[in-house]
Amino acid sequence: MIAKINNFEIDLSKSIDISIPLTNTDENPIAWYIEKPVIEPVVFGDWIGKVSKGKSSTNFNNIFFNPHGHGTHTECLGHITNDFYSINQSLKQFFFFAKLITVEPKKIGDDLVITKDQIVNLLTEKTEALIIRTLPNQLDKKSRKYSNTNPPYLSEEAAVFIRESEIQHLLIDLPSVDKEHDEGKLLAHKAFWNIKNTHIVNPDARFNATITEMIYVSDEIEDGNYILNLQIASFENDASPSKPILYKI
């Protein structure tokens, strides 16, 4: 099926999923010092909500997970503010013109950092969403245990440049745009959302801008321009598990 979005034609039958599935196995990626997700049937006495157990006509599972630590998720500025803001209220449009770039973070001291210069050199045209794939791009990003590993991150200057480039939606294949242990500074988050004070949010903060973390973009997907369909669950929470889908133009 061919659709026209933002004056571009895309084939809806050829979707490119860059999300990571959420499972209750050891293959699930984990960040922020938590355990793997729990997916298990409801139990009432001797009744178990699982067809294969013989007493239930349906599979009826409870799911316990953390959107920030258990896989692909999209967050709004409510992630770092004193006042509550919901991703479900912040994200009201779902199709965007997007640019996919590939970056090898630079070694700076003990850290690996995506710098402003790298983004400037690759972001040569205006776009609504920016998707960053980092190198090396091992398949184990889909199951990696990130806690206490000091993953690469985005410099504050790079985040400022992305904001000043009027990019509304930033997607990255890391557990955070910020350094894992940064004393709570969250410089890239604050720079992207233009937040000057997390307790009293400034009127010019970017209430409708989003950050999506822990995506996976396989090597077969070429850098370039796409239409992005950014799908979330309707959680009234600062973040939701999400399913970003790309379409070739």
Domain assignments of the chain as residue spans, ordered by start: 2-21+71-248
Say if residue 3's pLDDT is above 80: no
Confidence grade of residue 235 (pLDDT, cut at 50, 70, 90): very high
Confidence grade of residue 102 (pLDDT, cut at 50, 70, 90): very high
* Segment 87-107 mean pLDDT: 97
CATH 3.50.30.50 given to domain 2-21+71-248: yes
* Segment 54-59 mean pLDDT: 91
Confidence grade of residue 113 (pLDDT, cut at 50, 70, 90): very high
Q: What percent of the chain has pLDDT over 90?
A: 93
The pLDDT mean for the chain works out to: 96
* Segment 10-37 mean pLDDT: 96
- Token readout for 138 is 């091992």
Alpha helical stretches, state H, the chain? 87-90, 116-122, 156-164, 187-193
Of the candidates 83, 213, 223, the one whose C-alpha atom is nearest the C-alpha of residue 144 is 213
* Segment 86-106 mean pLDDT: 97
* Segment 96-116 mean pLDDT: 98
What is the greatest pairwise CA distance in the chain?
62
Say if residue 169's pLDDT is above 90: yes
* Segment 80-105 mean pLDDT: 97
* Segment 156-161 mean pLDDT: 98
pLDDT at residue 4 in the model: 76
Say if residue 2's pLDDT is above 90: no
Sequence-distant (≥ 6) Cβ neighbours of residue 220 within 8 angstroms: none
pLDDT at residue 38 in the model: 98
* Segment 57-62 mean pLDDT: 97
* Segment 184-200 mean pLDDT: 96
Q: Looking at beta carbons, which pairs linking 201-205 to residues 24 or more positions away fall under 8 Å?
A: 201/77, 201/81, 201/82, 201/83, 205/77
Could you say which DSSP state residue 54 is in? S
Sequence-distant (≥ 6) Cβ neighbours of residue 182 within 8 angstroms: none
pLDDT at residue 78 in the model: 98
Q: What percent of the chain has pLDDT over 70?
A: 100
Are 153 and 174 in contact, with CB atoms under 8 Å apart? Answer: yes
* Segment 59-78 mean pLDDT: 98
